[in-house]
């Protein structure tokens, strides 16, 4: 027991107290800490919600209403969990775009970035199957549309869809297995997050200058711990506004209608944090091509450290890249907007152009911009 206590104390001291931290990191580095807070909140509220939820197509919708109306502070638990998913994605997306801006994906932190992409994939799967559990109209039809995409796989696609459903449509078997997976996957995210953190602390955190230095570092405690907790207070205020004043703003109103397989909603859309990927899917008229494009839009992030060509990490010293970065960010917002629009002109064309730029950025601009910068530097000097 004494040996165990010593190990625990040494781990806490190494990673939370004496951990050498670059002196010049700012609040953009808070979002890794905030994402861990969001994960803990989601797990805790999810456990308490699971105590009152019934994974059956005849009772799931009613059990959610029971939580909201009859369980003490059940409304609070449900609103924290539902809005917490959105907060989690907001924090993680900012965390990712900070990494893109400051080149945090380059060596020696390439494995940290790769594990981060795996965490994002686990989050997407967990959030998708969690959206099915309230068993509203958008839950049922969203699950039907998204799982049907697997049928685009040649030869075995239809068999995989039937296996996912546990039958011939999204039904009780589907709801049960999605409930089980939704309970299990957050703990896989915890495991991946611990690996992510361990790898990060092995090579040390990056900084806005993109320069590794062993000199300009101070201990994590108390300076950056206080900074993280200040950021947490601001985040909780922002989170609380949605919980207490705008609890249903980020959700879809059709999900307050009980699932009915006989009535198809006029416009089926996923949650807002999936809309950019959904827009990429819809921008290609071929079903299999759309699925490949959507999966590639996420997978391309994983290979970014190996296709990156510039030796300068931070965008602070790359004005051309900085402009293109903000163009990419604008493109992602456009894709999010297009994903929520009907499939008609001019939204189809705008979505196709935005999707094209998204892939051009990662497949053309990122690999070749570094080489162009090197040539320009040679020409200058």
pLDDT in tens, 43-60: 999 999 999 999 999 999
Contacts of 276 (CB under 8 A, 6+ apart): 297, 332, 335, 336, 339
Q: Is 227 a catalytic residue?
A: yes
**What's the pLDDT at 6?**
54
Out of 110, 139, 182, 228, pick the active-site residue: 228
Q: What is the mean pLDDT of residues 188-216?
A: 85
Instruction: Give ranges for CATH 1.10.287.980 in the chain.
Output: 269-381
| pLDDT interval class at 1 (50, 70, 90) | low
Q: What is the mean pLDDT of residues 161-188?
A: 94
Which run of H or of E encompasses 21?
strand 20-22
Average pLDDT over the chain reads: 89
Out of 193, 205, 283, 355, pick the active-site residue: 205
The 10 Å Cβ neighbour count of residue 323 is 10
Record the pTM: 0.93
Q: Is 311 a catalytic residue?
A: no
Write out pLDDT tens, residues 305-361.
988 876 677 777 788 888 999 999 999 999 999 999 988 889 999 999 999 999 999
The 10 Å Cβ neighbour count of residue 75 is 14
**What's the pLDDT at 378?**
64
**What's the pLDDT at 367?**
85
At the second CATH level, the architecture of 12-268 is Up-down Bundle (1.20)
Q: What is the mean pLDDT of residues 18-42?
A: 91
Query: Do 23 and 216 contact (CB within 8 A), yes or no?
Result: yes
| pLDDT interval class at 103 (50, 70, 90) | confident
Q: Encoding tokens for residue 30?
A: 């808070």
Q: Is 374 a residue whose pLDDT tops 90?
A: no
| pLDDT interval class at 210 (50, 70, 90) | confident
Lowest mean pLDDT of 1-5, 350-354, 376-380, name the range: 1-5
Q: Which residue has the higher pLDDT, 185 or 201?
A: 185
| pLDDT interval class at 19 (50, 70, 90) | confident
Q: Which residue has the higher pLDDT, 88 or 202?
A: 88
**What's the pLDDT at 215?**
61
Q: Which residue has the higher pLDDT, 53 or 208?
A: 53
Task: Measure the CA–CA gap between 204 and 13, rounded to whole angstroms.
Answer: 15
Write out pLDDT tens, residues 227-255.
999 999 999 999 999 999 999 999 889 99
Instruction: Give ranges for CATH 1.20.810.10 in the chain.
Output: 12-268
Percent of the chain with pLDDT over 70: 93
Out of 254, 258, 271, 373, pick the active-site residue: 271
Q: Is 70 a residue whose pLDDT tops 60?
A: yes
Q: Is 12 a residue whose pLDDT tops 80?
A: no
Q: Which residue has the higher pLDDT, 209 or 379?
A: 209
Alpha-carbon separation of residue 131 from 40, 103, 284, 363 (angstroms): 19, 33, 25, 32
Query: Do 354 and 335 contact (CB within 8 A), yes or no?
Result: yes
The 10 Å Cβ neighbour count of residue 256 is 15
Lowest mean pLDDT of 70-79, 111-120, 145-154, name the range: 145-154
Length of the chain: 381
| pLDDT interval class at 23 (50, 70, 90) | confident
Task: Measure the CA–CA gap between 107 and 306, rounded to whole angstroms.
Answer: 9
At the second CATH level, the architecture of 269-381 is Orthogonal Bundle (1.10)
* Closest to 60 in 3D by CA, of 168, 143, 158, 164: 143
Percent of the chain with pLDDT over 90: 65
Which residue reads 């965390």 in tokens? 95
Out of 201, 217, 322, 374, pick the active-site residue: 201
Alpha-carbon separation of residue 140 from 96, 185, 307 (angstroms): 30, 21, 39
Out of 95, 110, 182, 227, pick the active-site residue: 227
Write out pLDDT tens, residues 270-292.
999 999 999 999 999 888 999 99
Q: Encoding tokens for residue 210?
A: 């993109």
Task: Measure the CA–CA gap between 208 and 313, rounded to whole angstroms.
Answer: 9
Q: Is 228 a catalytic residue?
A: yes
């Amino acid at each position: 027991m004494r040996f165990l206590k010593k190990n625990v104390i040494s781990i806490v001291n190494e990673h939370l107290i004496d951990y050498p931290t670059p002196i010049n990191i700012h609040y953009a580095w808070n979002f890794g800490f905030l994402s861990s807070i969001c994960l803990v909140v989601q797990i805790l509220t999810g456990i308490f919600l699971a105590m009152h939820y019934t994974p059956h197509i005849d009772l799931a919708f009613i059990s959610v209403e029971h939580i909201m109306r009859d369980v003490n502070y059940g409304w609070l638990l449900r609103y924290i969990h539902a809005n917490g998913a959105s907060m989690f994605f907001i924090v993680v997306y900012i965390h990712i775009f900070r990494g893109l801006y400051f080149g945090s994906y380059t060596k020696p932190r390439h494995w940290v970035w790769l594990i981060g992409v795996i965490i994002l994939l686990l989050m997407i799967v967990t959030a998708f199957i969690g959206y099915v559990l309230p068993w509203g109209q958008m839950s049922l039809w969203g699950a039907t549309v998204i799982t049907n995409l697997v049928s685009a796989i040649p030869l075995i696609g239809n068999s995989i869809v039937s296996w996912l459903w546990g039958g011939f449509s999204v039904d009780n078997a589907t709801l049960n297995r999605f409930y089980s997976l939704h309970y299990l996957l957050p703990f896989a995210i915890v495991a991946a997050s611990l690996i992510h953190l361990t790898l990060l602390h092995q090579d040390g955190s990056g900084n806005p200058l993109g320069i590794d230095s062993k000199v300009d570092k101070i201990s994590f405690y108390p300076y950056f711990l206080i900074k993280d907790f200040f950021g947490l207070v601001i985040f909780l205020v922002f989170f609380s506004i949605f919980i207490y004043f705008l609890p249903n703003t980020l959700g879809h109103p059709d999900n307050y209608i009980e699932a009915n397989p006989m009535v198809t909603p006029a416009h089926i859309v996923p949650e807002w944090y999936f809309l950019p990927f959904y827009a990429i899917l819809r921008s290609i008229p071929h079903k299999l091509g759309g699925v490949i494009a959507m999966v590639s839009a996420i997978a391309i992030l994983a290979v970014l450290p190996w296709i990156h060509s510039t030796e300068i990490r931070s965008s602070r010293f790359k004005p051309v890249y900085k402009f293109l970065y903000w163009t990419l960010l604008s493109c992602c917002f456009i894709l999010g907007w297009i994903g929520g629009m009907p499939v008609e002109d001019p939204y189809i064309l705008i979505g196709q152009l935005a999707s094209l730029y998204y892939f051009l950025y990662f497949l053309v601009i990122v690999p070749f911009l570094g080489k162009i910068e090197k040539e320009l530097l040679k020409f200058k000097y």
